[in-house]
Amino acid sequence: MELTIRQIYKDPASFANQEIVLQGWIRNHRDQKEFGFINLNDGSFFETIQVVYEREKTKDFEQVTRLTVGSSIKVIGTLELTPERSQPFEIKAKEVELLGGADETYPIQPKRHTREFLREVAHLRPRTNLFSAVFRIRSLTAYAIHRFFQEQDFVYVNTPIITANDGEGAGEMFKVTTLNLDKLPRTEDGEIDYSKDFFGKAANLTVTGQLEGEAYAMAFRNIYTFGPTFRAENSNTMTHASEFWMIEPEMAFTDLAGNMEMIESMVKYVISYVLKHAPEEMAFFDKFVENGLLNKLNHVLNSEFTKITHKEAIDILLNAGVKFENKPAHGRDLAKEHEKYLTEKHFGTPVFVTNWPKDIKAFYMRLNDDNETVAAVDLIVAGSGELVGGSQREERLDLLEKRMEEMHIPKKDLDWYLDLRRYGGCVHSGFGLGFERLLIYLTGVENIRDVIPFPRTPKNLEF
């Protein structure tokens, strides 16, 4: 019978002494005069399975000894239980067939490779233990997020990837055009004439699906998006990429307090799901990537997230007796070192920071009664820093229009967004979760380039 390695690991005793067929790739191969050992991985499970072949019992023994690491093979053999050994079972091979060879140039050899080197062969790195674990966790985490929101009766909405608006107001967007870049049409004022372009106006890759998500929340009550977003930001930090994935729920009839409840529930649900469904991968991360990772994540599951205002956070930092490289100040953003101090030193829990200065936040966030702050929230966590950013949205049409004028955001392009306030508007909230930052937090792998299959960063567009 043909099996996967995952099926065998689930219940090896049920296949004992039976003839089975496996197909996979050679991770390691040690051949000796009368017998040899192949570590086989078929992609279905984190662990490999040991295949033992012997001169007297395996067909074409000499050919089998010449099989190289990276080759794909088919194994026919018998599963034998070996409880007295470190590996509790193995395959005694009758026949090993080469399906696809790999010559001596195959770069993933059974030794330690740097992550920088493995990024250069990103098409092959999933065959290593580290990236096999990372991308299985990525898959499970995506499923857990969908499952969480579906169980909460949220509607999944696909928002546009090509858009004419800039939801963040940052202007750091990739332009999309079919115009001839060598001979751009110009208006009388010398500006690019986008009326001649495919859409008849300037178009960009989206930085957020939030605004469109709000439209659907005004019909379905609770919705979420989960898709790619793009930032033309020339940043080379370990937590920034030009293409990444975002989860953006929007909830009608929900204020900032309800928003935070949903964020905390979601984060804990995802952690719990991953710990339950990927114990081998998570144990690997705990041992080889971030010592203490499992304790950190279990601590989060058993903790109540701390809630403080931005003003309180700055006061704590100013009174900390610590010399920060970036001096904390009221009215300014938190630096990475500030987030690290609050989460790891002062509170020892994830921290919700609320009521941010309006001057450093987006136009759509609800103005507080003090006219100085907005009903915004960031969830900061140990290691990753800001994990989630959200707010109660401004539902009052007059105040939203005033805010857009102050920030020089043209109302003409967002008149449809203002309609959401004109026609049955209500208190509503939402947040954005950077999927890759969540993966950094879950795995301990600190560079965003190592949790995206094929990373897109400044000056890097390989594969």
| Tens digits of pLDDT across the chain (463 residues) | 999 999 999 999 999 999 999 999 999 999 988 999 999 999 999 999 999 999 999 999 999 999 999 999 999 999 999 988 888 999 999 999 999 999 999 999 999 999 999 999 999 999 999 999 999 999 999 999 999 999 999 999 999 999 987 766 555 899 999 999 999 999 999 999 999 999 999 999 999 999 999 999 999 999 999 999 999 988 888 888 999 999 999 999 999 999 999 999 999 999 999 999 999 999 999 999 999 999 999 999 999 999 999 999 999 999 999 999 999 999 999 999 999 999 999 999 999 999 999 999 999 999 999 999 999 999 999 877 899 999 999 999 999 999 999 998 888 889 999 999 999 999 999 999 999 999 999 999 999 999 999 999 999 999 9
Q: Which of 273, 293, 278, 266 is nearest to 442 (CA)?
A: 293
> Kind of pairing, strands 89-100 and 49-54?
parallel
Tokens of 433: 């979760």
Q: Would you say 287 and 52 are in contact if contact means Cβ atoms under 8 Å apart? A: no
**Residue 147 identity:** R
220-254 in b/e burial notation, b at 16+ Cβ within 10 A? ebbbbbbbebbbebeeeeebbbbbbbbbbbbbbeb
**Residue 383 identity:** G
Enter the DSSP assignment of 343.
I
DSSP string, 411-445: SGGGHHHHHHHHTT---EEEEEEEHHHHHHHHH--
104-124 in b/e burial notation, b at 16+ Cβ within 10 A? eebebeeeeeeeeebbebbee
Distance from C-alpha of 41 to C-alpha of 195, rounded to nearest angstrom: 55
Secondary structure class of 29 (helix, strand, coil) = strand
Distance from C-alpha of 125 to C-alpha of 129, rounded to nearest angstrom: 9
**What phi and psi values does residue 271 have, to the nearest 5 degrees?**
-60, -50
